[in-house]
Amino acid sequence: MLKEDRPSSRVLGGFDVLDLIGQGGMGSVYLARQISMDRLVALKILAPQLAKDEKFLERFFREARMSAMLNNVHIVQGIDVGEAEGFYYFAMEYVEGPTLAGILRERGRLTEQDALRVVLQVATGLEHAHDRGMVHRDIKPSNIIFSTKDKVVKLADLGLAKMYVERTAELTQTGRLVGTPYYMAPELARGEVVADTRSDIYSLGATFYHTVTGKPPFEGNTPAEILVKHMGEALTPPDQVNLLLSSGTCEVIEKMMAKDPNDRYPSPRDVVMDVRRLLTGRPPLLASSSRETELLERVEEEPSAVFAPAALSRPASGDSRLIWGVILGIVVVILVLIALVVSG
């Protein structure tokens, strides 16, 4: 069943390898059956060149085990990692259903509400991973799967994608493509190996942009041209591409995709909060700098600070005299009008 260096039998490390379902930079993914549990799994087998790198293998086992410890409905669950017949593999939950990439190819884009629901679920999974010190580094539509069984959205390749992107970045020469250019954070486009969850937030924002507009945020004739745009070109506001988008959704996307990581949401939890607000018809709190939103935030966090008498602004003494003068003048005019009516 395996295309290269195929093992002596179809059974590999307790898994019955059934069919090839995908290929990528790290290797091939097969549909397999875990014999001991009699269940279908996705079996990722490392590419031969990666399997020869001892440092990479060490990290592969460590990251795979950390990934298997994650337990969230919006993250593809890790099951087992091992070696058999010279092949290094990682078994994961098999999620049957289309990827976001496939849906976008078919439909062009999603409605704003559907896109918000997708982003909410991915950000919730990222929040779980972030709380446990894990970063993805390659969030894109093809890594987001719609589970037809569970009726939820799941993020795939958490941990392992980070490993591959970091290793490739270390070995990359100028001008060679690393990762997926359409959704890559500027700091990763510059080849910076050290990054945190804010890089994931940028990539999720770029995916969000594509999902509601039908096109990636930056396009070009070459991968290098696209990466340069991520680093330095101003983002075309999403509502200039899709006129139906709300201002709140545009504010959230633009904050997620800020060039400077310090200007983005600091954590997936903050993305979750603002997206939930949008789904319930309220404006985002953290993505907007408007006075109205600032007051809303104060009301939610400390209602008494806004509505207590001490918080109400008092006019200066000069303004007070002016106001009373105006009121007195109005009263005089009314009395004159009444007198005229009576005398008439």
| Active site positions, annotated | 138
Cα pseudo-dihedral 255, 259, 261, 262, rounded to 10: -70
Nearest Cα to 34, choosing from 90, 97, 76, 98?
A: 90
Q: Report the distance separating Cα 154 and Cα 125, nearest Å.
A: 8
Q: Is residue 265 a contact partner of residue 232, using CB atoms and an 8 Å limit?
A: no
Nearest Cα to 218, choosing from 185, 195, 176, 256?
A: 185
Question: Which residue has 């200039």 as its token pair?
Answer: 240
Angle at 322 between CA 319 and CA 324, to 5 degrees: 110
DSSP reduced 3-state for 249: helix
Nearest Cα to 208, choosing from 277, 117, 343?
A: 117
Which residues, 6 or more positions from 190, have their beta carbon under 8 angstroms from its beta carbon?
A: 231
Q: Report the distance separating Cα 8 and Cα 17, nearest Å.
A: 12
Q: Report the distance separating Cα 233 and Cα 319, nearest Å.
A: 49
Cα atoms in the Cβ-side hemisphere of radius 13 Å centred on 50: 25
Cα atoms in the Cβ-side hemisphere of radius 13 Å centred on 273: 13
